Amino acid sequence: MSPNSTLAPFAIRKGSAPRRQLRGNARYAPTFATLGLFLAMFAVGAGMYPSFLSGQVFLNLFIDNTFLIVLAVGMTFVILTGGIDLSVGAVVALSMMVAATLLQQGWNPAAVIVLVLLIGSTLGLAMGLIIHHFEIQPFIVTLAGMFLARGLCYVISLDSIPVTEGFFTGMAQAQIPLPGDLFVSPGVILALAIVAAAFFVLHHTRFGRTVYAIGGNENSAMLMGLPVRTTKVLVYALSGFCSAVAGILFSFYSLSGYSLAAQGMELDAIAAVVIGGTLLTGGTGYVLGSVVGVLVLGIVQTFIAYDGTLSSWWTKIVIGALLLAFILLQRLFTRKTT
């Protein structure tokens, strides 16, 4: 050994690096677990109720949850950066209220939709800016955003406002036929288009990769010269935009605006993302996983509807239990590597 190298410090053995991320194929494990769960639930449903095993029952999972799929897409972006957005449910309600009110006053539906999308995105952008510039935890800022949006709903009206406008009712009733006597709603196509766009953005653009990098190690991402600030702010704007789209889709679905609508929907969205395999600490997860997460939530509701003896509150309890199970699963996967 040369005299120079004797002063070298010593090797840290392989495997001693601190790791908070899932390794190798373990990355996909939670998502596959969810997919397996979904298939198992579908199989059980088919075993219990013969009519369960039909293409339409499967498609209905999409038709009944278009808004939740879109919400989960936005939430996936936010959670991937390690943040959280509690305002989404309230923004959905606000979007519905604004849409219903303006349509009642005879606005052009296209103008209404544009305005609603603008309001949602602006709210999200504002929250992102506050989170970033004042370094306040996302949950408290989005909590305030939730207050604000819900409060604005109350200000608009305390009563439910029906939507009778032609385009919206048309969308509510429209069915796009598929081979084999099946059909989907136009909302499903829109939601899936958004999912595809999100997939592309996350996996094939620099913005998307920056989202992952921030979740992996924000400080590193900053030191690597990535546009951390812009990305973090945009992620909340994106979530606000998705909430507004979800609001429009929910309006198609329910044909009304009500200030108490979409209560607790932020929890459903978070649950779908977590069940879909995205780590709450950020950096790992897939938008397609979130879609499967929504389908799992949807199938729980379908079960309860099919059963008939079970009441609606079981949905909440089961979602809570699933959320818990997947959080514990995440702990299990990450504990070994922390």
Partner 1 sequence: MTSLLKHRLAWPVIALAALLLLNQLFRPDFLALRMQDGHLYGSLIDIMRNGAPTILIALGMTLVIATRGIDLSVGAVVAIAGAASCAYIAASPEPGSPATALTAVLIAVVAGLAVGAWNGFLVATIGVQPIIATLVLMTAGRGIAQLITGGQIISVTNDGYKAIGAGYLFTLPVSILITAAVFVLAAGLTRRTALGTLIEAVGINPVASRLAGLRSRNIVWIVYVFSAVCAAFAGLMISSNVTAADANNAGLYIEMDAILAVVIGGTSLAGGRYTLTGTVVGAFIIQTLTTTVYTLGIPPEVTLVFKALVVITVCLLQAPKARKLFARVKAPARPAATEPAKEEVAL
Partner 2 sequence: MNEIVPVVEMTDISIGFPGVKALDGVGFRLYQGEVHALMGENGAGKSTLIKALTGVYTIDSGTITVLGENKRFSAPAESQAAGISTVYQEVNLCPNLTVEENILLGREPRRRGSIDWKGVRSRAREVLAELHLEHVDPGSLLSSHSIAVQQLIAIARSVEVSAKVLILDEPTSSLDAGEVAQLFGVIRQLRDSGVAILFVSHFLEQVYEISDRMTVLRNGKLVGEYLTRDLSRMSLISKMIGKELEALAELDEAPARTRTRSEEGSTPFLETEGIGRKGSVANVDLSIHPGEVLGLAGLLGAGRTEIARLLFGADKADAGLIRIKGNERKIRSPRAAIDRRIAFCSEDRKKEGLIGDLSVRDNLVLAMQASKGWARRIPRRTQDELVAEYIEALDIRPANPDALIKNLSGGNQQKVLLARWLVTHPELLILDEPTRGIDIGAKTQIQKLVNRLAAEGMSVLFISSELEEVLRVSDRIAVIKDREKVAEINNDGVCAEDVMAVIAGGTQ
Binding interface with partner 1 (CB under 8 A): 84, 130, 133-137, 139-141, 143-148, 150-152, 154-155, 158, 264, 267, 270-271, 280, 311-317, 319-321, 323-324, 327-328, 331
Q: Does residue 283 belong to the site contacting partner 2 (CB under 8 A)? A: yes
User: Which of partner 2, partner 1, none sits in contact with 177, Cβ below 5 to 8 A by type?
Assistant: none
Strand partners, 183: 177
Binding-site member from 140, 196, 224, 328 for partner 2 (CB under 8 A): 224
CB of 60 to partner 1, least distance (A): 23
Question: Which of partner 2, partner 1, none is residue 49 near (CB under 5 to 8 Å by kind)?
Answer: none
Q: Looking at the DSSP assignment, which residues form a beta bridge with residue 177?
A: 183
Q: In whole angstroms, give the CA distance from residue 113 to residue 107.
A: 10
Residue 12 binds which entry of partner 2, partner 1, none, with Cβ cut-offs from 5 to 8 Å by kind?
partner 2
| DSSP category for residue 176 | E
The partner in contact with residue 321, picked from partner 2, partner 1, none with C-beta cut-offs of 5 to 8 angstroms by kind, is partner 1
Q: Please state, in angstroms and rounded to a whole number, the distance separating the CA atoms of residues 15 and 184.
A: 50
Residue 140 Cβ, how far from partner 1 at the closest point, in Å?
A: 6
Q: Is the separation of the CB atoms in 209 and 199 below 8 Å? A: no
What residues have CB less than 8 Å from 252, skipping those under 6 apart?
66, 168, 171, 172, 185, 186, 187
Nearest to 84 by CA among 147, 32, 29, 145: 145
b/e burial code for range 291-311 (CB count within 10 A of at least 16 → b) = bbbbbbbbbbbbbbeeeeeee
Q: Does 336 bind partner 2 (CB under 8 A)?
A: no
**Tokens 């410090």 correspond to what residue?**
9
Is residue 215 near partner 2 by the rule CB under 8 A? yes
The reply to whether 200 sits near partner 2 by the rule CB under 8 A is yes
Question: Residue 205 corresponds to which amino acid?
Answer: T
Measured distance CA(308)–CA(68) in Å, rounded: 23
Per-residue contact string for residues 24-43; x = within reach of partner 2 by CB under 8 A: x--x----------------
* Structure token pair of residue 268: 């459903």
Q: Which residues, other chains included, contact 213 with Cβ-Cβ below 8 Å and sequence gap of 6+?
A: 220, 221, 224, 226
31, 34, 142, 210: which one binds partner 2 (CB under 8 A): 210
> Quick one: which segment of 123-131, 146-154, 217-225, 269-277 binds partner 2 (CB under 8 A)?
217-225
Residues 103 to 132 in contact with partner 2, rule: CB under 8 A: none
* Partner that binds at residue 152, options partner 2, partner 1, none, CB closer than 5 to 8 Å by kind: partner 1
Task: Determine which residue in the list 133, 204, 331, 336 makes contact with partner 2, applying CB under 8 A.
Answer: 204
Does 338 engage in binding with partner 2 (CB under 8 A)?
no
Q: Could you tell me the maximum CA-CA distance found in the chain, to the nearest angstrom?
A: 87
**Is-contact 274 323, C-beta < 8 A?**
yes
For residue 289, the surrounding DSSP H or E stretch is helix 287-307
How long is the chain? 338
- Single out the segment in contact with partner 2 by CB under 8 A; choices: 65-73, 129-137, 200-208, 324-332: 200-208
Nearest-approach distance from CB 198 to partner 2, in angstroms: 14
**Does residue 133 interact with partner 2 by CB under 8 A?**
no
The site partner of 180 among partner 1, partner 2, none (C-beta below 5 to 8 Å per kind) is none
Contact 92, 251 (CB under 8 A): no
Residue 243 CB coordination number (10 Å): 37
Smallest distance from partner 1 to CB 127, Å:
9
Residues that bind partner 2 (CB under 8 A): 1, 3-17, 19-24, 27, 200, 203-206, 209-210, 212-213, 215-217, 219-227, 283-284, 337
